[in-house]
């Protein structure tokens, strides 16, 4: 059993790594292609924002189907659909001369791939509790985060590099090859390795099913508290994305190169903590308390970044900002693991699809809203005020989690 569980863990990570990396490369290269042809940052940003929007709109349908039908069959069908979409894209895109038709094909391809990926990811996550032994589940969740973060970091880097050397046709073929290998790995996975499948009984209609998922989230106090924290964190992280260049480049005049180095520490923190937690056996049932403590550390980093412009020495400022970004990245990784573990171990299998799809879509959809709000805020208010308010919100929510978890 233990050997089989390790094999399942390895297959899961290989599938996730390959699928995320090739999808990230392809998506980034498509966006670059549009930007190069059109020169419009609006259309460029629209393509990047299509996935969270599609996930939000289709989450009721995806959750309904995942809870009603066999998870592995859904994952395989979604993966085959991705291959068909890529085949159609490769065959049609380069036989179309008009740019407007090419943009239409890119938009349709991006939307359909996002739907397929969401079906595959939701059905996979709904079964992870039964894919490996309980002792391997924390390790799987941690290493999943490490692999996903690594793929999201490497995707734009690799995509930006190969875009200058390879045609979109070859890059699309690379994505097709990655999706094909993912299908092979998914086929080899046993989605019910440690238990039998339970079928949801409250999925007579999509609306009823969706309400059932929302009611479960509302009634599960711990899940609702963890979800609220995840929403707040994802929202205030937009302040870092928007505000860090304002602080580093505009106010402190440290330059774009140093900004890039400081910003890279966020990803480094996510990768480091995800890897460390994946290599050690973590058994922590105090989901709320541990998440609240992490939130305090996150809030402290926001305060330090907010007042960093009072420091005179630029080298010291750069070091402080690097440490803060490393701490924020590590805090994100450490806080995401209790939330993910709670979802996969405490939510009944019959509601995993609906609850998982709803929570994922809700959290991810806050990023575009955060960019818009903080983009406007930094035009009218000081960095100190904005980051202090973000820290205050995090502290209040973290204290609530600690008190409720006691």
Rounded-to-integer distance, Cα 148 and Cα 196, Å: 28
- Per-residue pLDDT tens for 362-371? 777 777 777 7
| CB-based contacts of 222, cutoff 8 Å, min separation 6 | 287, 288, 342, 346, 404
Among residues 28, 41, 20, which one has the least CA distance to residue 161? 28
pTM over 0.85: no
Cα distance between residue 307 and residue 300, in whole Å: 11
Share of the chain above pLDDT 90, in %: 7
pLDDT digits (tens, 9 = 90+) for 81-134: 999 999 998 888 777 767 778 888 888 888 888 888 888 888 888 888 788 887
> What's the pLDDT tens digit per position in 271-318?
888 888 766 655 555 778 888 888 998 999 888 888 877 777 778 888
Highest mean pLDDT of the ranges 156-165, 179-188, 208-217: 179-188
- Mean pLDDT of all residues belonging to the chain: 81
Residue 390 has pLDDT above 60, yes or no: yes
As a whole number of angstroms, the distance between CA 365 and CA 25 comes to 22
**Cβ atoms 111, 246 nearer than 8 A:** no
pLDDT tens for 55-76 read 777 777 888 788 788 888 888 9
The confidence band for 5, taking pLDDT boundaries of 50, 70 and 90, is: confident
| pLDDT for the residue numbered 291 | 87
What is the percent of the chain where pLDDT is above 70?
91
| The pLDDT of residue 284 | 55
The winner for highest mean pLDDT among 42-56, 129-143, 178-192, 254-268 is 178-192
Backbone dihedral angles phi then psi of residue 253, each to the nearest 5 degrees: 55, 45
Which of 186-200, 207-221, 245-259, 328-342 reaches the highest mean pLDDT? 328-342
- Which pLDDT score is estimated for 82? 92
> Tell me, what's the pLDDT at 395?
92
Q: CA 51, 56, 62, 63 torsion: positive or negative?
A: positive
pLDDT for res 81 = 93
Alpha-carbon span 171 to 176, nearest angstrom: 9
Q: What is the mean pLDDT of residues 352-358?
A: 81
Arithmetic mean of pLDDT, 206-222:
80
Instruction: Tell me the pLDDT tens digit for each residue of 225-263.
Output: 888 888 888 888 888 877 887 777 777 777 767 777 887
User: Residue 7 pLDDT > 70, yes or no?
Assistant: yes
**DSSP code for 352:** H
DSSP letter (8 states) at residue 286: -
Distance CA 118, CA 365 (A): 14
Q: Is the pLDDT of residue 162 over 60?
A: yes
Which of 183, 164, 155 has its CA nearest to residue 84?
Answer: 183
Query: Rounded to whole angstroms, how far apart are CA atoms 170 and 165?
Result: 10
Strand, coil or helix: 47: helix
Q: In what helix (H) or strand (E) does residue 157 lie, and over which residues does it extend? A: helix 137-162
Q: What is the pLDDT of residue 196?
A: 63
At 240 the pLDDT is 84
Domains of the chain: 2-191 (1.20.1250.20), 214-405 (1.20.1250.20)
Whether 252 and 318 have beta carbons less than 8 Å apart is answered as: no
Residue 207, judged by CB atoms within 10 A of its CB (0-12, 13-18, 19+), counts as exposed
pLDDT at position 406, please?
63
Residue 198: predicted pLDDT: 58
What radius of gyration, in Å, describes the C-alpha atoms of the chain? 22
pLDDT, residue 44, reads: 56
């Amino acid at each position: 059993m233990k050997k089989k569980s390790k094999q399942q863990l390895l297959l899961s990570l290989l599938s996730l790594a390959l699928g995320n990396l090739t999808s990230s490369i392809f998506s980034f290269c498509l966006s670059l292609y549009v930007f190069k042809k059109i020169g419009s940052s609006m259309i460029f940003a629209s393509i990047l924002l299509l996935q969270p929007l599609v996930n939000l709109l289709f989450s009721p349908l995806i959750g309904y189907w995942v809870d009603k039908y066999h998870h592995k069959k859904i994952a395989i069908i979604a993966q085959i659909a991705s291959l068909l979409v890529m085949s159609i894209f490769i065959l049609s895109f380069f036989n179309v001369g008009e740019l407007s038709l090419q943009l239409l094909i890119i938009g349709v391809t991006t939307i359909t791939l996002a739907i397929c990926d969401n079906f595959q990811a939701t059905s996979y996550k709904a079964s992870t509790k039964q894919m490996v032994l309980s002792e391997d589940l924390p390790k799987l969740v941690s290493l999943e985060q490490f692999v996903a973060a690594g793929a999201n970091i490497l995707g734009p880097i690799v995509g930006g590099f190969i875009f200058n050397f390879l045609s979109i046709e070859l890059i699309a073929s690379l994505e097709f090859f990655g999706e094909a290998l993912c299908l092979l790995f998914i086929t080899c996975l046993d989605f019910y390795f440690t238990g039998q499948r339970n079928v949801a009984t409250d999925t007579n209609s999509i609306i009823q099913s969706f309400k059932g998922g929302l009611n479960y989230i509302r009634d599960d106090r711990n899940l609702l508290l963890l979800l609220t924290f995840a929403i707040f964190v994802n929202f205030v992280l937009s302040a870092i994305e928007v505000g860090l260049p304002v602080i580093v480049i505009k106010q402190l005049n440290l330059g774009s190169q140093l900004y890039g180095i400081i910003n890279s520490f966020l990803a480094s923190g996510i990768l480091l903590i995800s890897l460390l937690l994946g290599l050690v056996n973590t058994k922590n049932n105090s989901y709320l308390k541990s998440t609240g403590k992490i939130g305090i550390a996150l809030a402290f980093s926001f305060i330090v970044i907010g007042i960093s412009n009072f420091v005179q020495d630029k080298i010291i400022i750069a070091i402080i900002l690097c440490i803060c970004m490393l701490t924020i990245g590590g805090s994100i990784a450490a806080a995401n693991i209790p939330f993910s573990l709670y979802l996969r171990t405490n939510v009944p299998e019959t509601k995993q699809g609906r609850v998982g799809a709803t929570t994922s879509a809700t959290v991810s959809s806050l990023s575009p809203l955060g960019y818009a709000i903080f983009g406007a805020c930094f035009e009218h208010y000081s960095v100190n005020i904005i980051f202090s308010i973000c820290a205050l919100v995090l502290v209040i929510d973290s204290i609530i989690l600690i008190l409720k978890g006691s």
